[in-house]
């Protein structure tokens, strides 16, 4: 008689822990997506602001070149950091 009651209690506890784990995973996923979106918007806004400031002082083609070189260097640093982690 006690065995079935213990099984019911154990299954309820397991279901509760699974719900908590699923909620935590969903929260982490949404926070990661939100952080990624914030970083992308911030990078776009800062790039636009930098281009506007550079275009006032030099020609627009030079401003695009400077912004492009900056993001190229950021990409190289990111590539170097991630390839070092893999090896």
pLDDT above 90 for 33 = yes
Are the beta carbons of 64 and 52 closer than 8 angstroms?
no
DSSP 58: S
C-alpha to C-alpha distances, 50 to 42, 45, 47, 54, 80, nearest whole angstrom: 12, 9, 5, 6, 25
Domain span at 79: 2-86
The count of structural domains within the chain is 1
pLDDT band per the 50, 70, 90 thresholds, residue 7: confident
Q: What is the pTM of this model?
A: 0.62
Are the beta carbons of 54 and 63 closer than 8 angstroms?
yes
Residue located via tokens 């997506």: 33
CA distance 45 to 77: 21
Mean pLDDT (whole number) for 27-54: 92
């Amino acid at each position: 008689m006690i065995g079935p009651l213990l099984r019911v209690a154990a299954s309820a506890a397991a279901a509760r822990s699974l719900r908590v784990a699923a909620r935590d995973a969903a929260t982490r996923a949404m926070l990661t997506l939100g952080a990624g979106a914030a970083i992308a918007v911030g990078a776009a806004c800062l790039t636009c602001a930098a281009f506007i400031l550079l275009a006032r002082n030099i020609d627009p083609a030079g401003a695009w070149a400077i912004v492009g070189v900056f993001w190229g260097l950021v990409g190289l640093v990111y590539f170097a950091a991630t390839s070092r982690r893999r090896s």
